[in-house]
């Protein structure tokens, strides 16, 4: 792997980690020591080559497709990425089931698929929001406003939806 490619790959890894609000030590803690901060940091700096197997495992840990980590695969790479859509699962648990039941079931399915049971937050994708909008029979922007009013989504989610509509 060329050093320039390694640096680009590392930049993608760092971008995904920071989008998820994780420090290097946060990665180590969240992974219960499986991913050492020093190793992830060396991947991000391009100082250490990452195997395909380890890259796939890291993509799985971050909950992103492997191709999102590869340089040159995201259109408009210089553009600022839209804000992440992060569900507050603790707040979701306080919303009455007659309102939030479909969202709670959907979130539980995503957690099961990812093996992500931290119970506090859950990142979802734009496609997930569109699917939920169909379930709730609302537009993605109306559903986003409803989830913000429930306290389940941060107000920054409006920018993600606006970015999608653009």
- 84 burial (CB, 10 Å; 0-12 / 13-18 / 19+) is middle
State the pLDDT at residue 6: 86
State the pLDDT at residue 112: 86
CATH architecture of 83-158: Orthogonal Bundle (1.10)
Is 19 within 8 Å of 84 (Cβ atoms)? yes
CATH domain 1-78 topology: 434 Repressor (Amino-terminal Domain) (1.10.260)
Going from N- to C-terminal start, the domains of the chain cover: 1-78, 83-158
Estimate the share of the chain in helix, then strand, then coil, as percent rounded to the nearest 5. 60, 5, 35
Q: Report residue 19's pLDDT band, with 50, 70 and 90 as the boundaries.
A: confident
State the pLDDT at residue 78: 44
State the pLDDT at residue 163: 58
User: For 20-156, where are the alpha helices, taking DSSP H only?
Assistant: 24-30, 37-45, 52-62, 89-92, 97-114, 126-135, 140-150
What's the Cα-to-Cα distance from 62 to each of 19, 30, 90, 159, rounded to whole Å? 10, 10, 20, 22
Quote the CA–CA distance of 16 and 22 in Å, as a whole number: 9
pTM: 0.50
* Antiparallel, parallel or unpaired: β 85-88 and 121-124: antiparallel
State the pLDDT at residue 82: 59
Question: The tokens of 102 are what?
Answer: 């479909």
The pLDDT tens digits for 104-141 are 999 999 888 887 777 789 988 888 899 999 999 999 99
By mean pLDDT, which of 35-44, 132-141, 152-161 is the weakest? 152-161
Question: The tokens of 67 are what?
Answer: 């191709």
Quote the CA–CA distance of 120 and 9 in Å, as a whole number: 29
Beta bridge partners of 123: 86
Residue with tokens 């340089």: 71
Is 165 within 8 Å of 141 (Cβ atoms)? yes
The pLDDT tens digits for 49-100 are 899 999 999 999 998 888 888 887 544 444 455 567 899 999 999 999 999 9
State the pLDDT at residue 75: 45
State the pLDDT at residue 120: 87
State the pLDDT at residue 67: 85
State the pLDDT at residue 69: 84
What's the Cα-to-Cα distance from 151 to each of 111, 125, 134, rounded to whole Å? 20, 18, 20
Q: Is 47 helix (H, G, I), strand (E, B) or coil?
A: coil
Query: Where is pLDDT greater, at 20 or 73?
Result: 20
């Amino acid at each position: 792997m060329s050093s320039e490619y390694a640096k680009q790959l590392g930049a993608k890894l760092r971008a995904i980690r920071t989008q998820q609000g994780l420090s290097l030590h946060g990665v180590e803690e969240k992974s219960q020591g499986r991913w050492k901060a020093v190793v992830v940091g060396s991947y991000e700096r391009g100082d250490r080559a990452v195997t395909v197997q380890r890259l796939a495992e890291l993509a799985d840990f971050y909950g992103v497709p492997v191709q999102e980590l590869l340089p040159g695969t995201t259109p408009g790479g210089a553009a600022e990425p839209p804000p992440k859509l992060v569900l507050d699962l603790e707040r979701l648990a306080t919303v009455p089931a007659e309102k939030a039941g479909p969202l709670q079931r959907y979130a539980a399915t995503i957690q099961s698929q990812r093996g992500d049971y931290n119970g506090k937050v859950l990142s979802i994708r734009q496609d997930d929001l569109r699917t939920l909008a169909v379930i709730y029979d609302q537009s993605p922007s109306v559903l986003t406003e409803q989830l913000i009013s429930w306290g389940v989504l941060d107000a920054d989610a409006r920018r993600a939806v606006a970015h999608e509509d653009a």
